[in-house]
């Protein structure tokens, strides 16, 4: 996040992030819902240092607000008020989107929040960048709000700790509507600033040797998912795996549980099946 904001302040590139805001939309509003004022000040200082800007001067184009103590409704109210009174904001950062709601698994609350973000984006003509943690144990974004964000976002970036070196973080695109980019890695240097790891080699995910995602066409996936899920919402993980087993067997693609687990992660990340309430359903509007 720090690199994205620094790039927007410079209107240039920082750590492979490029930002170009128009002259009348150069202000950045950064909202933090989780950290203390002390740690937020550290974040703000790091951003300014990354942008090569002085840290001892106030800036009119960078507004940082801390909403840790507020309720979800009050946080949304404050952000809305700020946007209404700052027409030159071109980038809104919400570090802790789940703190704008009471229940991250509520379909209605998730839909309302997504609609609010879209109204802010179009009504105030700005870009919104949010932060949401992944589920522990898998690569899926948390809760129903994670599913809705995946469905509506222009780009979903995944930042995870390297399994090879705990001091390195990997950045990959989970979903992107624009041009794809190569994954990259960074670490925090001795000056407490992130820097690119140029010689980093990404490990290829381990998959069953008999399982290749590329051997199936889009139409084959559609047929298998229609046969396995139909229009119903499948409840429970074991039932989802069973639906995949049935659907893909119907097109002659019979595989064991380990392969089906990998297939399920692939389908979720590609939004070919999406979470709905406590279950999953086939999403015929996916882009392969």
Q: Which CATH class is domain 218-282?
A: mainly alpha
Structure tokens at 132: 């949401």
Residue 186 or 182, more confident: 186
Domain map of the chain by residue range?
1-153, 218-282
Tell if the pTM clears 0.75, that is, is over it.
Answer: no
- Band the pLDDT of 208: cuts 50, 70, 90: very low
- Band the pLDDT of 261: cuts 50, 70, 90: confident
- The CA dihedral of 71, 77, 81, 84, to the nearest 10 degrees, is 140
**3 state SS of 263:** helix
* 8 Å CB contact between 165 and 158: no
Structure confidence by residue, pLDDT tens digits, 38-49: 999 999 999 999
Structure confidence by residue, pLDDT tens digits, 222-235: 999 999 999 899 98
Phi, psi dihedral angles at 159 (to 5 degrees): -120, 120
Structure tokens at 178: 């624009």
Q: What is the mean pLDDT of residues 120-134?
A: 92
What CATH architecture is 1-153?
3-Layer(aba) Sandwich (3.40)
Q: What is the mean pLDDT of residues 117-125?
A: 96
């Amino acid at each position: 996040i720090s690199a994205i904001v620094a790039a927007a302040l410079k209107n240039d590139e920082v750590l492979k992030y490029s930002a170009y805001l128009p002259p009348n939309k150069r202000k950045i509003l950064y909202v933090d819902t989780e950290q203390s004022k002390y740690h937020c000040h550290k974040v703000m200082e790091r951003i300014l240092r990354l942008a090569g800007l002085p840290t001892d001067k106030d800036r009119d184009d960078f507004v940082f607000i801390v909403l840790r103590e507020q309720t979800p409704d009050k946080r949304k109210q404050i952000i809305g008020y700020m946007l209404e009174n700052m027409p030159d904001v071109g980038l809104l950062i919400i570090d802790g989107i789940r703190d704008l709601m009471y229940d991250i698994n509520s379909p209605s609350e998730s839909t309302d929040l997504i609609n609010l973000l879209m109204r802010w984006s179009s009504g105030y003509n700005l870009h919104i960048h949010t932060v949401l943690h992944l589920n522990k144990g898998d690569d899926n974004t948390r809760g129903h709000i994670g599913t809705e964000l995946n469905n509506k976002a222009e780009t979903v970036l995944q930042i995870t700790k390297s399994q090879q070196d705990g001091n390195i973080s990997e950045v990959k695109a989970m979903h992107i509507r624009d041009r794809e980019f190569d994954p990259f890695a960074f670490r925090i240097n001795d000056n407490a600033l992130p820097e690119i790891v140029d010689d980093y080699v990404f490990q290829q995910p381990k998959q069953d040797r008999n399982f290749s995602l590329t051997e199936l066409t889009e139409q084959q996936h559609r047929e298998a998912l229609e046969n396995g899920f139909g229009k119903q919402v499948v409840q429970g993980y074991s039932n989802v795996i069973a639906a995949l087993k049935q659907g893909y067997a119907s097109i002659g693609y019979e595989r064991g549980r380990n392969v089906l687990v990998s297939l399920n992660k692939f389908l979720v990340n590609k939004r070919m099946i999406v979470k709905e309430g406590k279950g999953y359903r086939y999403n015929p509007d996916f882009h392969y």
